[in-house]
Amino acid sequence: MSSSELRHALGPMCVDSPDGLYACPRSARELTEVLAVLRAHGVALGREVKLSRGAFDRLEAVEPKSCTVLAGAGLVLADLERLLHPHAFTLGTLSPHALTLTVAEFLEGPYAGLKPVPVGRLEPISISLEAVLADGRQLKTHFSPRSAAGPDLSALVLGAHGRIAVVLKARLRCLPLPEARQVVRLSFPSVEAALDGVRAALADGCCPARARAQKVQQRTVLEVELAGALDGVARDAQSLQHRAPTLGGRPAGEALHPPATPHEHECSWPAVARALDHGEVLDLYRLSLHGAIVAGGAGGLGLDAPARWAHGAGLAATVLGGPL
């Protein structure tokens, strides 16, 4: 089928750009129509026709009590962050690369839309979302903090590279804008001790915005940035300072230089340890007991480009295998 035929079939719902044909639906209904056309023509979304969610670029609602906002999937996170500030909200500290992504890319891509929460856990930044499934049907998940009403269907979207469902809007969990920031700099006798210290502090409830780490001579220096409510930051600093001495940690003086490469990977803690042992400077974001998003030379899941699915590919291909 020629691209002009497709363009004709999609009508005003598509734009022919120098980069190729883009479907630009303005509503869930239009996306459903786009999918129907593609299905009828045996074309997969993402190959001959790319999807633009540029029309979904609004901050639609701010819920001050639950600290959530309803955002279009096409909004770039850095822009969204700016839109949130007048409401005294923030998305929390996202990694530099994540900030360049749209809401959709952040949710559907390898970041899987995860954010850290106290005691070293991760949870989806989206509390609920509106998406369209491959067969054109809509999927709206409930706006509630947790649910036991069946499986979490938002997992069809998060990290699924848009191959099962395409997100159009998401209600995102925000944080109050931080009142204070503080950097705690510590040095430890070994990489393991430093990372044990981080894990212990995370389990205590300390929720750092980010950290920088490097092996300097025989010791490992850890620079932890804390952000949040005034007394919250003080508490987190205390947690770190409380754990550090038990692992041979002590205050450190000099600030570390930033990492050489900005490439981001999702790393397990052993991968972080290996990179530090190789002498890398690492910036750590989204710290949790699972690991961290790491800028700098560390091995892990590449976050800059879509990776192949490690598993569950059959899920998209077999069941939901439609034109996505």
Partner 1 sequence: MPPPPDLVVWPSTEEEVQAVIAVARRRKLPVIPYGAGSGVCGGTWATHGGVALDLKRLDRIGPVDATARTVDAEAGVMGETLERRLASEGWQLGHTPSSIYMSTVGGWLAARSAGQLSSRWGKIEDMVLSVRAVLGTGERLETPERPFSGPDVAQLLIGSEGTLCAFTRARLRVFPLPEGRAFHGYDFKTVADGLEAIRVMFRAGLRPSVVRLYDPFDTAIVGDKPPHVSTTSPSQAPALSRELLPALFRVLAPQTLGRPGLMNRATHLLRKSRLVLVFEGEAARAADEDAAARTLCQRLGAVSLGPQPAEKWLASRYDVSYRMSKVFEGGAFADTFEVAAPWERVYEVYQKVREAVAAHAFVLCHFSHAYLEGCSLYFSFVGAAPLGQERERYESIWRIALSAAQSAGANVSHHHGVGLLKARALQESLGEGRHALKMLKDFFDPDGIMNPGKLGL
Query: Which of 47/242 has CB closer to partner 1?
Result: 242
Q: Please tell me whether residue 40 binds partner 1 under the rule CB under 8 A.
A: no
Q: Please tell me whether residue 59 binds partner 1 under the rule CB under 8 A.
A: no
Q: Please tell me whether residue 67 binds partner 1 under the rule CB under 8 A.
A: yes
Answer yes or no: are the C-beta atoms of 282 and 296 closer than 8 Å: yes
Residue from the set 225, 266, 280, 283 that interacts with partner 1 by CB under 8 A: 266
The residues, any chain, with a CB within 8 Å of residue 286's CB and separated by 6 or more, are 94, 95, 114, 115, 116, 122, 292, 293
x/- binding map, residues 195-234, to partner 1, per CB under 8 A?
Answer: -x--x---xxx-x--------------------xx-xx--
Smallest distance from the beta carbon of 198 to partner 1, in angstroms?
12
Region binding partner 1 by CB under 8 A among candidate stretches 58-66, 73-81, 93-101, 274-282: 58-66
Q: Please tell me whether residue 160 binds partner 1 under the rule CB under 8 A.
A: yes
Interface with partner 1: number of residues (CB under 8 A): 84
Query: Which of 14/162 has CB closer to partner 1?
Result: 162
Q: CA dihedral defined by 283, 284, 286, 287, rounded to 10 degrees?
A: -160
- Please name the residue that has the structure tokens 């906002």: 69
Smallest distance from the beta carbon of 233 to partner 1, in angstroms?
9
Helix (H) or strand (E) holding 28: helix 28-41
Helix (H) or strand (E) holding 295: strand 291-295
Q: Distance from first CA to last CA of the chain, Å, rounded? A: 18
Residue by residue, DSSP assigns 95-157 as -HHHHTSBHHHHHHSTTTTEEEETTTEEEESEEEEEEEETTS-EEE---SS---SSS-GGGGT
Residue from the set 138, 183, 190, 256 that interacts with partner 1 by CB under 8 A: 138
Strand order in the sheet with 68-72: 59-63, 68-72, 165-173, 126-133, 138-140
Query: Which of 72/120 has CB closer to partner 1?
Result: 120
- Please name the residue that has the structure tokens 């009590």: 65
Query: Which of 49/70 has CB closer to partner 1?
Result: 70
Region binding partner 1 by CB under 8 A among candidate stretches 39-47, 94-102, 141-149, 180-188: 141-149
Q: Which of residues 78-107 bind partner 1 (CB under 8 A)?
A: none
